[in-house]
Structure 1
C-alpha cells in the first residue's frame, strides 16, 4: 500500500492528505516513492528536470527505477514538492545515455502526458531529457542528447506542418526526432511523416506510447530488443 501523510500548504495554510502514487516495476510489483514525514514540503518555483525524478528501489526485486517526484497541487494554485527519502537521480555519464526501467503513467493532465513521453524516451536510452530550447509551433518540445521530440497534448490531430517543423528543427540540430500526440494525426500528416521518416506515436490513456507508422514501429522494436 502506498504511503500517506498530512501536508500543509505553506502559502495558504490549507491542510491536505497526500498519498504517494504507485507505479509498476518491470517485475510487476507496485513501487511508490518513500515519503519523508520529517521534512516540510516546498513550493515549486522554477522547474529543473533533475529535481522532477527520484530513484527508488523496488522492494520485491531490488531494481532501481526513476519515478516522477511526488507533487501535490493546492487549490490556492501552489504546487508542493513532497519530500522523499529515496535517492535522487544522478546525471548520466559523459560517455552516453544509460537505459532504465520505463513504467507508464496514466494520463489525466498535460503534465501526465509529458511524464509519459519522457518515460518512453528513457526507454529508448535518453535519460537527459529536458525542455527543448526552441519552442515548437504547437505543443511541448522535449530534447536530449541527439534527440528531439514534440508532444501535443491537445484535442486536435497533428498536421503536416507540425511534422515538417519538427523535422526541420531536428535537421538543424543534427538530431533524431519523434512525435507524440494524444489525439492522433491527419492522413496528410501520416503521409508526410512517412516521407520524412519521422516516427509517430499516440499516447494512450494508460500512458503507453503506441507506434502509428513504420518508422515508429521500427524504433519501438529496437527499444524492445535492447
Structure 2
C-alpha cells in the first residue's frame, strides 16, 4: 500500500495528508508517481493540457510514459498540484528485457500466424481530438480498414471510432477508465458483431481491467507521444495476429 506524505496547501498553508496515485504500467506493474518532499505545491488557477500530465519511468520495465499530474482539493477551496520527481532518461534505466515501444508483445503458447508491420508512426497528443486521431491511426496500423468517427446522426454512446468489424472508445481524461465504460463498449461491439477495443490515457480501474479480461476486450494505454501500448492478453494477441478474418 502506498504511504501518505504531508503536503502543505499554498493557499491556506494547512498541511494535508496526500497519498500519491498509483497507475498500471502497460507491462502490468503498478507505477506510483514519486512525490517530491522538498518542493512547494502550486495552486491550479488555469488548466492546460500539457500541465495535466507528467513523465515518469516504470521501475519494473524502465518504460517512460505520461501520467496524470497528482493534485488534490484542499478544504479551503484551492486545487493544488503536487510536484513529482522528473523522469530520468529511460534508455539508461531500461533493462535488456524491456519491450521496445513499437514491437509486438511476445506470444504466450503456440505462435500462430504473426503479422509483420512497419513501425507505427505516432500522432502527438495535445488535445482530446488528437487522442482519438492517434487511436484511429493505430487501429489502421493493426489492420482494421475504413476506421472513422461516427457521423453526428449515427453517433452511439460509448463509441468514438468504428469501422468494418471494429468499434473503439478513447478515454482522454486523467482518471482511470471505469467498469461502466468497458461494459458499454462491449455491448456496442456485441450489437455490431465487431471487435471492441479500448484506449485510455490514464489506465484502467481494477474492476474495469478484470471485466475487460473476462470479456476478451483488448485494452491499450496511450501516453502523450501517441503510441498505444497493450495492457492485457487480448491486446497482445491483436497486435500479434491482427483483426479476425471476416
TM-score for the superposition, normalised by structure 2: 0.46
Q: Which one scores higher on RCO, CA 8 angstroms, separation ≥ 6?
A: 2
Structure with more of its chain in strand, by fraction: 1
TM-score for the superposition, normalised by structure 1: 0.49
